[in-house]
Amino acid sequence: MLEELLAAGVTEAEYDAWLIRIGEGDQFSSGFVEVNPNSKIPALSDHSTTPPTRVFESGNILLYLAEKFGHFLPKDPAGRTETLNWLFWLQGSAPFLGGGFGHFYNYAPVKIEYAIDRFTMEAKRQLDVLDKQLARGRYVAGEEYTIADIAIWPWYGNVVLGNVYGAAEFLDAGSYKNVLRWAQDIASRPGVKRGRIVNRTNGPLNEQLHERHAASDFDTNTEDKRQQ
């Protein structure tokens, strides 16, 4: 979202992205808990206000930034409501995809057939819902790129592009043609190409920017450069 705002010319969206290593428990440190008492990433602290404003829950972070800077959330009531329909849809659905399907299919140390079947069925049902919606327009909430796309792409976009869980074939991702077309479309956006590598600690070294404190970090501080 912040890279998209900068790409849209909002210079005030310049930001610091600090790395919170959840595998090492950084999310339980007192400083982080002050910003998000629920100890989950992402969390935002807006220091342009006095006192700083804390924002947690990814959906609320997107809404906060969209309203603060006036981008990616339609102003007309119908467009705004449809965008929020899909933003809230993502917040309700993603735990089934990540915590359900992703966990039992990919991460769980024991493979439980019933759990895999249950969450595969649900993940495919959600992909079908999204596919039907994307048959109606270029983006999730219509012809305009919104915070609904920004929220949904990292989950369902990455699944159909084969970037997470190694499950694209298993889920028959190619059959969700509209989701795939949308996922590829969004993947080509310059802001998305930059944003997806921020705070990333896996994958190719040139696609890992552990911390981002200035736009120039994309040129100088990716892990391939830091480890030279």
Residue placing its CB nearer to ligand GSH in the complex, 86 or 180: 86
Closest CB 103 distance from ligand GSH, rounded Å: 11
Write down the residue that tokens 């990333």 correspond to. Answer: 200
**3-state class of 74 per DSSP?**
coil
Nearer to ligand GSH, 5 or 43 (CB): 43
Task: Give least dist CB 191 to ligand GSH, A.
Answer: 20
Residue whose CB is less far from ligand GSH, 57 or 122: 57
Cβ 71 to ligand GSH shortest distance, Å? 20
* Alpha-carbon gap, residue 206 to 197, rounded angstroms: 9
Smallest distance from the beta carbon of 61 to ligand GSH, in angstroms?
7
**Smaller CB separation from ligand GSH, 99 or 190:** 99
> Where does 99-216 have alpha helices with state H?
113-134, 147-152, 158-160, 177-187, 190-195
The b/e string for 39-74 (b: 16+ C-beta within 10 A; e otherwise) is beebbbbeeeeeeeeebbbbbebbbbbbebbebbbb
Q: How many residues does the chain have?
A: 228
In sign, the C-alpha dihedral spanning 14, 214, 24, 101 is positive
Closer to ligand GSH at the Cβ: 147 or 180?
A: 147
Peptide bond preceding 42: is omega within 30 degrees of 0, i.e. cis? yes
Nearer to ligand GSH, 12 or 34 (CB): 34
Least distance CB 20 / ligand GSH (angstroms): 8
Note the residues at the interface with ligand GSH (CB under 6 A): 22, 27, 39-42, 57-59
Question: Least Å distance between CB 174 and ligand GSH?
Answer: 26
What 3-state class would DSSP assign to 113? helix
